[in-house]
């Protein structure tokens, strides 16, 4: 998986996770980042509901 705009490095992810009590190695952090990038790429913002007037 290749993302052009990777804003979080593996090292930053390890630090952030450690601050929240999650200990991971570089391989695990990379997998977590890839999952998060994939989810964000496929996330569709909720569309506005149109209110039908009577």
10-42 pLDDT per residue, tens: 999 999 999 999 999 999 999 999 999 888 878
Rg, the chain, Cα only: 17
33 found inside a domain? yes
Handedness of CA 32, 36, 10, 17 (dihedral sign): negative
Instruction: Provide the number of structural domains found in the chain.
Output: 1
Domain that holds residue 35: 10-42
State yes or no: pLDDT of 48 exceeds 70: no
User: Does any domain span residue 20?
Assistant: yes
In a domain, 14, yes or no: yes
Burial 8-31 (b: 16+ CB within 10 A, else e): eebeebbeeeeeeeeeeeeeebee
pLDDT band at 43 (very low <50, low <70, confident <90, very high): confident
- Residue 49 is predicted with a pLDDT of 67
Q: Pick the residue with more confidence: 7 or 45?
A: 7
């Amino acid at each position: 998986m290749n993302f052009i705009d990777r804003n979080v490095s593996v090292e930053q992810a390890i630090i952030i996770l450690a601050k929240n009590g999650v200990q991971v190695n570089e391989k695990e952090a990379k997998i977590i980042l890839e999952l998060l990038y994939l989810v964000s790429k496929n996330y569709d913002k909720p569309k506005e509901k149109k209110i039908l007037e009577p």
